[in-house]
Chain A
Amino acid sequence: MTGRRIMTADEIRRATIRLSHEIVEKQAGTSGLLLIGIQRRGVPLARRIAEAIAENESVDIAVGALDITFYRDDLSLVAQQPVVKGTDLPFGIDGRTIVLVDDVLYTGRTIRAAMDALVDFGRPQAIRLAVLVDRGHRELPIRADHVGKNVPTSREEIVRVHLEEIDGEDGVDIERVVESRRAVEPVA
């Protein structure tokens, strides 16, 4: 496996700040805004965006965590059940503008699952999507409202986002899947 860094810690920081500005601009303020990170790396990203908004607008935006495991469309296909990391939405979502935050947007299936999960909690006014990296190859009619970096990739590549809170460092790498691993070792 060969890795290549496509975003440094500084670039992640700047992208996060830009995302925070875009989110506030699109909402024309911060009224009604909630940030919900998708487990796992969407959650620290959502917190960072909230911190950036607090710094620029002096407003604290509530942050929640959403685990989409129970809503995956491949639960009957994977060999073992995935780890459930837990949902924590300490607020009602009725009538609010939800910004879903995730690290990588790929096929769009995670976002489909996240929207299904959200509507079980209520009826938001709007759901928007912010991602750190959009790597293309959508399989569903989904697009992001706010993108940190667009990265053209092939399906044979893996985009790995590392975040300080989980991985001990910030950085985004792109790796090529070794063919033999791809053929024999499904990763769920």
Chain B
Amino acid sequence: MTDVLDGPTDAGELVIPSVDVAPEDGAVGWRHRHLLDVDDLSIDDIDLVMRTADAMREVLARPIAKVPALRGRNVTILFYEASTRTRVSFEVAAKNLSADVVNVAAGTSSVSKGESLVDTVRTLEALGAQMLVMRHSVSGAPYLAAEVFNGSVLNGGDGWHAHPTQALLDLYTMRSRLGSLAGRKVVILGDVLHSRVARSNIWTLTAAGADLWLCGPSTLLRGFEAWARHGVAGSRRFHVTSSVDEALRDADVVMALRIQRERMASGLLPSLREYAARYGLTSARLATAKPEALVMHPGPMNEGVEIAADVAAGAQSVITDQVTNGVAIRMALLYLLAGAAR
């Protein structure tokens, strides 16, 4: 690298970080200040996230998995919904980049005294928050936060709407195992209707050229047929079916989604046992996919319901890869967004 740190540094002078750098060595072209969803990411943006995540994987493999890239930055994590893996994954990612991490558990904060989201965001900003990682049960809540927050907002999941970091880590996991996804048959199996993971994955997987299939009971696919007919971003297509056999046949990837028990009450499913019998990912069903097909699950899992325990722990499962890659993807996003956050 041609002495990229060069340039006048006197406070009074214009800062020119480098005048010795060829164009291809320069800035990355990342223009987003927030990560609210994946629907406004271009293919180039997605590729850049993946390439940056490769570098983060290398950092994670070091004896000391820590670099000073975000030293002195405040990353505040504000979760209004229960979460273990996503919250911890963001925290580990921020700490690996040497950021200062503030954790706000909404249950024990002034939120429970009725403070509004906008007031909470303003308060956290006044307390030094520069990047805000947020999860909320209401779809669109991070968009409201982004309107009032002067730093970067990262959506850690909002209602049924979006879970952008999950979709990116899923894509990264598939690409690191399969290479290009062009023409690869990817199946998302389960409760698509209530799944922000599925909604965000539809954008990234169709952008990557995958042959995407959504499968589940018709009550949990409502509205998706119309979306499939209309297409994603106008031209990218996907398939919707209630037939597990049709969906799994020769699949390259099968991603099972969690069935939430509270859905039974609303009459969308007759019983967990019936769901497991008709749609659960068992080794017999997996055998109809390609022999090397990847098994994925965004977690947390109900073993014995949407996925059999032996499949989740089997040789084709990349579920723990998803967790590890999640840290690398979140490091990449924090790093890229930090450039736009100041």
Contacts and interface: CB of A to CB of B under 8 A. Distances in A.
Which A-B residue pairs are the 9 nearest by beta carbons? Answer: A109-B5, A80-B27, A81-B339, A70-B67, A106-B3, A70-B69, A84-B55, A188-B27, A78-B17
A108 B224 CA distance: 57
Nearest to A41: B2
B92 to A, nearest CB: 16
A186 B17 CA distance: 7
Nearest to A114: B1
A102 B3 contact: yes
A102 B21 CA distance: 13
A105 interface: yes
A177 B27 CA distance: 19
Interface in B60-77: 62-64, 66-69, 72
Interface in A45-62: none
Interface string B1-27: 111111111000011111111110111
Interface string A92-115: 000000000011111101101100
Interface in A103-139: 103-107, 109-110, 112-113, 116-117, 120-122, 139
A107 B14 contact: no
Contacts of B311: none
Interface string A55-74: 00000000000011111111
14 contacts: A70-B59, A70-B67, A76-B342, A78-B17, A80-B29, A82-B25, A82-B27, A105-B3, A107-B6, A110-B1, A116-B68, A182-B16, A183-B14, A187-B18
A62 B153 CA distance: 43
Interface of B: 1-9, 14-23, 25-30, 51-52, 54-55, 58-59, 62-64, 66-69, 72, 97, 335-336, 338-340, 342
Q: Is the interface of B mostly helix, strand, loop or mixed?
A: loop
Given A109-B6, A187-B21, A77 B63 contact: no
Contact of B2 (A80, A103, A116, A121): A103
Given A80-B27, A82-B27, A109-B6, A187 B16 contact: yes
B62 to A, nearest CB: 7
Contacts of A39: 1
Given A81-B30, A158-B19, A188-B17, A72 B2 contact: no
B52 A104 contact: no
Nearest to B51: A84
Interface residues of A, number: 54
Contacts of B14: 183, 186
Contact of B25 (A40, A74, A80): A40
A160 B338 contact: no
Contact of A188 (B2, B21, B338): B21
Contacts of A188: 4, 17-18, 21, 26-27
